[in-house]
Amino acid sequence: MADLAPPEHITQVLIVDDDHDIRTLLSEFLERNGLRVFQAGDGVAMWDALESRRVDLVVLDLNLPGDDGLSLCRQLRANSTLPVIMLTAKTSPIDRVVGLESGADDYVCKPFEPLELLSRIRSVLRRVHAGHEIENTNQEVTRIHFAGRILDLTARHLVNENGVIVSLSGAEFRLLRIFLEHPNRVLSRDQLMDLIHGRDTTPFDRSIDLQVSRLRQRVEGDTKSPTIIKTVRNEGYVLSASVKVDRN
């Protein structure tokens, strides 16, 4: 039987990690900071917890016995919009991008300070809450037209200039929507990271560049001479196209 929601909404977090010491450390820290925490050591325990409890966010380790974090995140994202923060010991940008493209909302690289994770949790939940408010006030916007292409906000896919449907990962959809909400405006890497993840880039974080490169492949195919999502030297990126929206 599912737990009854508390009288006042308390953020409830599920930590999925096979390291008992890490789960315990994080649980104690997050609970001292006003969150309610549940624990799971693998995917089976994660699904059991999600079926029996109300959870607001999942902290999911990449390396797990059985189904790994990427597989679990993809399965979760196929049926839910529950926010996910991925924990990973891998530090290369491509690993971070793969994590985001599996549906994760953010990532934290091990080793990390518990305070950093708490900050990311709060940031992700603020974005999710703000996104719900925007959706509730702008439900009439269903499609965005640009450069002969259409971003379908309901189906969450792209229709290219030839009328072919192009599937987008969650990270690609979010990034393209951000560009379309700021057309013909140069967005720096820091601005893009803040709009997507609610935080700044670091000097060694090139995940935004990789995400833009992958999005270009979906939108225009040519990553060497792009005409729609352009690089502005020493400044960032710009979506160079007029934008029109469809409304119900």
- Tens of pLDDT along the chain (248 residues)? 344 444 457 889 999 999 999 999 999 999 999 999 999 999 999 999 999 988 999 999 988 988 988 899 888 877 777 889 988 876 666 666 777 777 788 888 888 889 989 988 988 887 766 555 445 544 566 889 999 999 998 888 999 998 999 988 877 888 898 899 888 888 888 888 777 765 544 444 567 888 888 899 999 887 778 899 999 888 889 999 888 888 76
* Domain shared by 174 and 230, yes or no: yes
* Domain shared by 82 and 164, yes or no: no
Name 45's Cβ contacts closer than 8 Å, sequence gap at least 6.
16
Q: Does a structural domain hold residue 2?
A: no
Q: Does a structural domain hold residue 101?
A: yes
* Nearest one of 44, 84, 83 to 65, comparing CA atoms: 44
- The CATH number for 22's domain is 3.40.50.2300
pLDDT of residue 39: 95
* Nearest one of 155, 98, 125, 92 to 12, comparing CA atoms: 125
* Domain shared by 124 and 145, yes or no: no
The radius of gyration of the chain from alpha carbons, rounded to an integer in Å, stands at: 19
* Domain shared by 185 and 98, yes or no: no
Number of compact structural domains in the chain: 2
Alpha-carbon span 196 to 191, nearest angstrom: 9
Q: Phi, psi at residue 40, to the nearest 5°?
A: -150, 140
* Domain shared by 16 and 129, yes or no: yes
- The CATH number for 153's domain is 1.10.10.10
Alpha-carbon span 244 to 247, nearest angstrom: 10
DSSP letter, residue 63: S
pLDDT of residue 189: 83
* Domain shared by 156 and 110, yes or no: no
247, two tokens: 């409304």
- At 62 the three-state DSSP class reads coil
Tell me, what amino acid is at 77? R
CB 14 within 8 A of CB 35: no
* Domain shared by 99 and 170, yes or no: no
What is the residue range of 194's domain? 139-247
